[in-house]
Structure 1
Amino acid sequence: MSTEAAREAAPTQTLSEPAPRLLSRAHLPVVLGVLSLVTLAAFENRAVVSILPTVVHELDGWSLFGAATGAPLVTLTVAMAWSGPWTDRQGPGRVLLTGIGLFAVAQLISGSASHMGVFVAGRAVSGAAEALIDTAMTVLVARALPETLRAKVFASFAAAWILPSVLGPGVAGGIDAVVGWRAVFVAPLAIVPVSLALVRGALRGERGSFPAADAPGPETASSDGRQLRASFLLAVGLAAMTCAGPLLGDREGARVMTGLALVVGGLVVIAGTASRVLPRGTLRLHCGVPSLVALRFIVALAFTGVGGTIPLMLVQTRGVGPALAGTSLAVTGVLWAAGSWLNSTGAVQRVRPAARLRAGHASIAVGALGPVLLSLGVLGLPAGMVGWGLAALGMGLVSPTLTTEALALAPEREQGRASAAMGLASTMGVAVPTGVVGVVVAMQGAGVDGRTFALLMAACAVAALVGAGGAGRAWACD
């Protein structure tokens, strides 16, 4: 029986049973706890993306720009593969608290860095923290809230990004102007105690009310071990691309060739280990969770490949400061949240998930043309951001749909693994364009031009079209 048919055959809620509410007394601790963490992570993310060009300039670290963006992906890859089985075995509580602790350590390292290498180390710790927090939060939501509320809580996640996206770049730019860029990393630590207090309420409920998942069998444990080993190889591939930056920025021909060899070798390792890290059938877009994991990779590549490039493109080609360059982040946060809210409404929830995924991918492909034309000077900043707003709206449709459908298709005892697989796919999707942009910046330095940015972003738009074509594969088992 297909997932759609199973849902139709499931018993419906009787009139005497009250409909579950997201802000009811039973669910409020979980909702407030996870929203506080999402908001904290959103402020940190938007501030870092906005301030990174300034950090690179201040520490004279152009050759390590790719490392600063790639190091979190390397550590996130290994931590994500580890976090799934850990969460399934012991529940999300310990994993979540460990992630919060690592987040605080990462901020301190980055904010106190006197050399670009130390800054990169701080970003690496941040990647591990993100993996643990993301996996644990997703499983906490799945175990604590009924399925009918999941779309709404993931829409609230997107809404929690609005204020950080609108204010984060400006706040980061203001802090940099008044105090210096280091305070941008230290300031979020003031919010950590508040988040911990809220999360403790959610975790008390998680320990006392929600049933623990069944222990994995021998086959699952063996598969977990293979996946963890493969994740280390994948991290090696990502690290090779990250380490290539300083060599590619060198004028000596032999060092440049070595750097290019590292990039090519890294890509080969990534491609070779993908089938071992991700669920079986992912590369073939096999029905069920594997297909959704594949779509997560595609949409991460397409959306992040464009959105992550826009601030640097504006700084390099338009000479704007961090606050104005963060305009794209504000557009992303607001329209992504709008798309997620739209996705959670009853009218849209009645639309088949495949149709929502197809529409979202198509919106990303079309909307990416705004930044492409902006980088070429054909459009101004306002018009270019209108296009990007359409892409963000599409991402708001795609992202929560992928997450809720993956949780619905995965058995409860494997929800942590499914969440981790989605996270790994997203990491790989982010890593590919991030690595390519890092290589380009390392080779061309401050001389990278608008045509180069346009070519990179156009390639990501094509990837979104591929995702639109495969949007219905998850439900094609019959």
Structure 2
Amino acid sequence: MTTASPTSVDPAPISRDDDPGGGVLSGRYRALTLGIVSVVLVIAFEATAVNTAMPTAARELHGLGLYAFAFSGYFTTTLFALVVSGQWCDRRGARRPLFTGIALFGVGLLVAGTAPGMWVFVAGRAVQGLGGGLVIVALYVVVGRAYPERLRPSVFAAFSSAWVLPSIVGPLVAGAVTQHLGWRWVFLAVPALILLPLAVMGPALARSEREHPVPRSADFDRRRTALAAMAALGAGLLQYAGQRLDPVGLLPGAAGAALLLPAVLGLLPAGTLRAVRGLPTVILLRGVAAGAFFSAEVFVPLMMTSQRGLSPTLAGLTLTSGGLTWALGSWLQGRPGAERYREAMIRGGFVLTAVAIAGAALVLVPAVPTWVAAVAWGVGGIGMGLAIASVSVLMMKLSAPQDPGANSAALQMSDALGNVLLTGLAGVLFAALGGGSAAGAHTGEGAGSPGAFAVVFLTSTGVALLGALVSGRVRGRA
């Protein structure tokens, strides 16, 4: 997917394999690796901590009616920022969008943490989304340009590993801070953690961009920017419509679909929705994997509290095994010699994800022990680690020298779209089958019949199996 036109500067390869040796922590790469992994660590901690503090924040700001918008506001602006970041990286390198994104992310946290009311809080989350979208694409471009091909699987494995500690301690720390100091400090403390990555990787990133110049173009593609805005608005409207089960939701739902479909067709590589061999299928599978796994994951704690009577803490700990084994799966795909099995690892990852979702649903049977869900989610974590990291590696391998930013943006957009659309579908099915009110879903009281949960997990399992069937089409020319 070409987004930049070469000028007088010859296009540099995504990264040259002229490194004499050493790993991602060798002298040449140490500062850069520590810096970008620290960025992922901060984002991961923020994600787990904010999810814990959000209900308290909404209640104290008298904004429970806008609770969902605190999440959708972040997601909507992220969709727009993904495309902007991809174009920016392809034209000027990753350093400026990365640092700008980190700054916006911090500003959004400060706005949310000091918000006097819920609308200001939502605006802060939207600013965070802009920063997060800029950052994630820029990180992928850094990996593609600064590291030789042999080291990229290890870097992506490090990204996944950076989520392990936050997934374990994030909810506990955020819960304690919220209870003893107040929810605002969950937001206000995170920006201080951003300073370390900036200081560590700044010089190394500047050196990398001097060594690997990028093709430059004078202007951004206005058409792509407009399509990104359409995608963000359309996704937001669909998400709003999906929360309603009355005729009022039909109009925003139709408008959202009318905006989103042409935007997706214009932003993703040609043939993505048809699973054309090569890069289009790689991009598609990222969204399929994210949508299948996370559309089921959001219902696991609710199932454990409402159907099996577990406390919220124990229900949340059910998902911890997935965070740990996700890192294991990513590590396995980065081992020496694993490249020859890349396609098999993607297919196997989808199969394991399907097995995990179906296994977690077994807990709906009263005779099945509750720990089965934790074991199942551990299996799913391995599958996602194998599939997601392998898809990322293939995306870099199939990208033309001038396209890593645009293709990284497409990969992340596929992830975000798959997540929100399939999670929205799961929510609609859950509510339509007697899943209970939104209030009941958040408190665990009166939240649904076993049949509603079963349909959600069955749908997610089917999507994961579809990904396994399509995975044989990832091989193709760049």
TM, length-normalised to structure 2: 0.87
Letter in 2 for 1:359: G
CA distance in 2, matches of 1:122, 1:181: 15
Quick check: 2:242–2:253 contact (8 Å CA) kept in 1? no
Structure 1 or 2: more helix by fraction: 1
Q: How does 1:325-344 map to 2 (within 5 A)?
A: 325-344=315-334
- Pair 101,110 (structure 1): closer, same or farther in 2 beyond 3 Å: same
Q: How does 1:10-409 map to 2 (within 5 A)?
A: 18-59=20-61, 61-208=63-210, 210-215=211-216, 224-244=221-241, 248=244, 256-314=246-304, 323-351=313-341, 353-374=342-363, 377=366, 379-409=368-398
CA distance in 1, matches of 2:54, 2:425: 17
CA distance in 2, matches of 1:408, 1:320: 45
Q: Out of 124-133 and 95-104, give the one that drifted further.
A: 124-133
CA distance in 1, matches of 2:369, 2:177: 27
Quick check: 1:376–1:450 contact (8 Å CA) kept in 2? no
1:356-391 CA-to-partner distances (Å, cap 9, x unmatched) read 110001111110123323356564442111111111
Quick check: 1:70–1:434 contact (8 Å CA) kept in 2? no
Helix, strand or coil: the match of 2:91? helix
Partner of 2:447: 448
Partner of 2:404: 415
- Pair 124,474 (structure 1): closer, same or farther in 2 beyond 3 Å: same
Letter in 2 for 1:470: V
Quick check: 2:156–2:330 contact (8 Å CA) kept in 1? yes
CA distance in 2, matches of 1:376, 1:238: 35
Quick check: 1:172–1:184 contact (8 Å CA) kept in 2? yes
Quick check: 2:363–2:373 contact (8 Å CA) kept in 1? yes
Partner of 2:6: none
- Pair 324,114 (structure 1): closer, same or farther in 2 beyond 3 Å: farther
CA distance in 1, matches of 2:194, 2:473: 41
Quick check: 1:36–1:198 contact (8 Å CA) kept in 2? no
CA distance in 1, matches of 2:392, 2:320: 23
Quick check: 2:239–2:420 contact (8 Å CA) kept in 1? no
1:169 is displaced (CA, Å) by 1.3
- Pair 260,317 (structure 1): closer, same or farther in 2 beyond 3 Å: farther
Q: Out of 162-171 and 269-278, give the one that drifted further.
A: 269-278
1:328 is displaced (CA, Å) by 4.0
Helix, strand or coil: the match of 2:21? coil
Q: Out of 268-277 and 413-422, give the one that drifted further.
A: 268-277
Letter in 1 for 2:406: R
Quick check: 1:50–1:322 contact (8 Å CA) kept in 2? no
1:397 is displaced (CA, Å) by 0.1
CA distance in 2, matches of 1:87, 1:282: 22
Partner of 2:421: 432
- Pair 245,179 (structure 1): closer, same or farther in 2 beyond 3 Å: farther
Quick check: 2:319–2:377 contact (8 Å CA) kept in 1? no
Letter in 1 for 2:38: S
Partner of 2:12: none
CA distance in 2, matches of 1:74, 1:190: 26
Quick check: 1:66–1:435 contact (8 Å CA) kept in 2? no
Count, aligned residues:
452
- Consecutive unaligned residues of structure 2, counting only runs of 5 or more, are 1-16, 441-445
1:51 is displaced (CA, Å) by 3.2
CA distance in 2, matches of 1:437, 1:179: 35
Helix, strand or coil: the match of 2:402? helix
Q: Out of 450-459 and 29-38, give the one that drifted further.
A: 450-459
- Pair 372,397 (structure 1): closer, same or farther in 2 beyond 3 Å: same
Partner of 1:472: 472
1:287 is displaced (CA, Å) by 1.8
Helix, strand or coil: the match of 2:189? helix
CA distance in 1, matches of 2:359, 2:58: 27
Helix, strand or coil: the match of 1:472? helix
Quick check: 2:76–2:126 contact (8 Å CA) kept in 1? yes
Give me the CA root mean square deviation.
2.8
- Pair 380,365 (structure 1): closer, same or farther in 2 beyond 3 Å: same
Letter in 2 for 1:300: A
Letter in 1 for 2:121: F
CA distance in 2, matches of 1:50, 1:375: 25
1:63 is displaced (CA, Å) by 3.6
1:130-168 CA-to-partner distances (Å, cap 9, x unmatched) read 111111111111111110000011111111111111111
Q: Out of 372-381 and 186-195, give the one that drifted further.
A: 372-381
- Pair 322,128 (structure 1): closer, same or farther in 2 beyond 3 Å: farther
1:207-262 CA-to-partner distances (Å, cap 9, x unmatched) read 43x22122359xxx78x43322222111121121344478x39xxxxxx4212432
Q: Out of 105-114 and 91-100, give the one that drifted further.
A: 105-114
Between the aligned residues of both structures, percent identity stands at: 35
- Consecutive unaligned residues of structure 1, counting only runs of 5 or more, are 1-12, 250-255
